[in-house]
Amino acid sequence: MSDGGPEESGGAVGLPSRRRRPTPMSQWDPTARLSYWAFHANRRPAYMRFAYLQLGSDAAAEEAVDATFDSIMCEWLKMLHMDRLDAYAWTVLKRSIVDRQHRLHPWQRQPEPMDISAFEAALKEAHADQYEVLTDTIRFYSAVSRLAERQRDAVLLRYGLQCTPGEAASVMGVDEATVRSYLGQAHRRLARLLDTSAASPESPESESESAESAES
């Protein structure tokens, strides 16, 4: 990890920019340095696990997370004055994952989660037939990939990474009540998607996104 500029400009509102030269960490006061490394130690494990779910590769996940923390390092002195520092960092991570997903699979419009082990384990508890488990897993994971972004993030953190709602809220930089709301919306949306898929497995699901599926 270098003290240099961010690897990516992001191109989106609120993300780090290359236009101004960041203050090198060597010139930070001790409190700022300690706070950055404390944040790094606290968030990196969850960021790595989440990036792996999205990218399906340890190397790709590490690259995305390293780029994320490079960008965060360059913006850290400004971030210390933000009301929602965690939410900003989560946005940087998500953009870094999207960039790497596009590099790995340029034909895909959006990143899709890769690791389905947590969902397979949950389904095996309810089904004995292995073919049925595989079929249900594919249907369920396909449905998860069609959720609104924040709902999908909440589901992956809660069930893919086994975070509590409070832990997921901390990582995403939102209130626990907001995560619970996302999960409730996701459950209702998944129920509709899975019900439609079970009834017509060969027909594309044409239901339009409801207001509850919209991004907050």
Tell me the pLDDT tens digit for each residue of 76-94. 999 999 988 999 999 999 9
- Pick the residue with more confidence: 196 or 190? 190
Distance separating alpha carbons of residues 84 and 89, to the nearest angstrom: 9
Whole-number percent of the chain with pLDDT over 70: 65
Name the helix (H) or strand (E) containing 178. helix 176-199
* Contact between 92 and 16 (Cβ < 8 Å): yes
- Mean pLDDT for 8-12 is 37
14: CB partners within 8 A, 6+ apart: 88, 91
pTM attached to this predicted model: 0.66
Q: What is the DSSP string of 30-67?
A: HHHHHHHHHHHHHHHHHHHHHHHHHH--HHHHHHHHHH
| Whether 52 contacts 101, CB under 8 Å | no
Cα 122 to Cα 3, 109, 165: the distances in Å are: 42, 28, 18
Q: What is the largest CA-CA distance in the chain?
A: 62
Backbone angles phi, psi at 132, to 5 degrees: -65, -40
Structure token pair of residue 103 = 């590099």
Contacts of residues 136-139 at CB distance under 8 Å and 24 or more positions apart, as own/partner, are: 139/194, 139/197, 139/198, 139/201
Query: How many C-beta neighbours within 10 Å does residue 119 have?
Result: 21
DSSP 8-state code for residue 15: S
Q: What's the pLDDT band for 175 if we cut at 50, 70, 90? A: very high
pLDDT at 209 over 60: no
